[in-house]
Amino acid sequence: MDFSHKNIAELRDLLKSGRTSAVELLDFFINKIKQEDADQVDAFLEIFEDAEEQARLADERIKAGDDAPLLGVPVALKDNILYQGHIASAGSKILEDYVASYSATVVRKLQKAGAVIIGRTNMDEFAMGSSTETSAFKVTKNPNDPSRVPGGSSGGSAAAVAAGFVPFALGTDTGGSVRQPASFCGVVGFKPSYGAVSRFGLVAMGSSLDQAGPLTRTVSDTKLVFSILAGKDQNDATTMPLDMLQEHKTHKVKKVGVPRAYMQEGVDAQVLDRFNEAMNTLRQEGFEVVDIDLPSFDYALSAYYIIMPAEVSTNLARFDGLRYGLQIEGESYEESFKKTRAAGFGREVKRRILLGSFVLSSGYMDAYYYKAIAAREKIRRELADLFKTVDIIATPTSPTPAFKLGEKTDPLSMYAADIFTVPVNIAKVPAISVPVQPVSRDGAQLPSAVQFIAPEMHDFPLLDFAETFEKIYADNNKQ
């Protein structure tokens, strides 16, 4: 049987009814990865040797009547998610041989639900980038067109799902790193509300922005995985109890707002066409779709590129050549600190550490950092007000389809690719990227996607709405 494009729900049915086993599934996916990943997609950094053992144990649990929701289903982890006893390098030379001494809460929850962790996927170094090209190890290709990027920074996870190497994967999203690669590769990508999912055991980038999220083939699968991952964790003081999310569960979405003015510049004409078609589908189904104004969104990207590097510079201070990973000895602590970091970090990481140290230094802190924090508050308040009048905000996920490998050499043009995803992390709200019909570019069909944004803690109504959209859009495009 070909399992490559089956979703979690379908695989679970096959497993439950005994038509396949966890070991058979795993072997299928590992063989596919062995045949098609190296030099073609390059999504994986490593296939874990103990995956076979995990699958065997899953089969035993199935035989014993265990009905855990992910039992026997393979999953890939982005390389910045700790899994005890396995390397987690965050795409960086500085952590190339770092073996995790404990597992992230999200990993523990996946294991409890019975998932088989197959391996770790390539990513932009420390999750900094939108193309997976800043990885210290290799460049991942977009399975829809190998001359193009898979997006980033969770490009390996998105490409792995799109290529049919795994039914789902985990990524992390600080400014779009789950949603944008999902959009480029043609899969579903979800960034939960800040605090909905534990960050314990993720390699931190921007601690007030980071969230782990799933990449799946369907919105229903995302809903399933999210309901497993979400909830209070005593190891992450910013997490919320599940009740807080469930309180909003019955909220019905009726009205969708489109920030037209924010979508004026730089949006590809075909991407905009696909987006408008999606809005028409919603209208035909009785949703009200209205234009809205979000003037403060204009400041979101600038605020992000101050707050994020500030948090990066503090978070990455721990890589000092003593505590973790790479260690290059010098005459003194200072010298070995300098040598280790000079050799261990790539250009983009160094750029952000410099930028972050600058905006936090005395004299500049008021001029930049505090202004960005004020802008963030303004954006959050404006959004909260707006959500009194609409239930959901819709935008394209990315202004363009996947760009060519090596195309964006100027960092600023790379940063601009995050224009629709970054405000979501700044505002701490949840958002999902759902694929729509592809656009054509240079003879290739490239995925495109819409992003739906909901108020903080409205993750469940957002996912229900996205599920409805996915269904009506598919029905519409069948005819």
In the complex, which residues of this chain contact ligand GLN (CB under 6 A)?
A: 127-130, 153, 173-177, 205, 308, 418
Of the residues 130, 135, 153, 433, only one is catalytic, namely: 153
Of the residues 6, 78, 141, 428, only one is catalytic, namely: 78
Nearest residue to 174 (alpha-carbon basis) of 227, 139, 212: 212
Q: Which two tokens stand for residue 55?
A: 């699958």
Tokens 């404990």 appear where?
102
Name the residue nearer to ligand GLN (CB basis): 127 or 263: 127
CA distance 20 to 16: 8
78 is known as an active-site residue: yes
Q: Which two tokens stand for residue 446?
A: 């490239």
Name the residue nearer to ligand GLN (CB basis): 111 or 421: 421
**Cβ–Cβ under 8 Å, residues 405 and 133:** yes
Of the residues 21, 130, 131, 177, only one is catalytic, namely: 177
Name the residue nearer to ligand GLN (CB basis): 12 or 352: 352
Name the residue nearer to ligand GLN (CB basis): 153 or 222: 153
Q: How far is the CB of 21 from ligand GLN (least distance, A)?
A: 36
* Sign of the C-alpha dihedral computed for residues 38, 44, 49 and 50 taken in this order: negative
153 is known as an active-site residue: yes
Q: How far is the CB of 447 from ligand GLN (least distance, A)?
A: 18
Using CB atoms within 10 Å of the CB of residue 244, give its burial: 0 to 12 exposed, 13 to 18 middle, 19+ buried: middle
Name the residue nearer to ligand GLN (CB basis): 29 or 297: 297
Name the residue nearer to ligand GLN (CB basis): 418 or 459: 418
Catalytic residues: 78, 153, 177
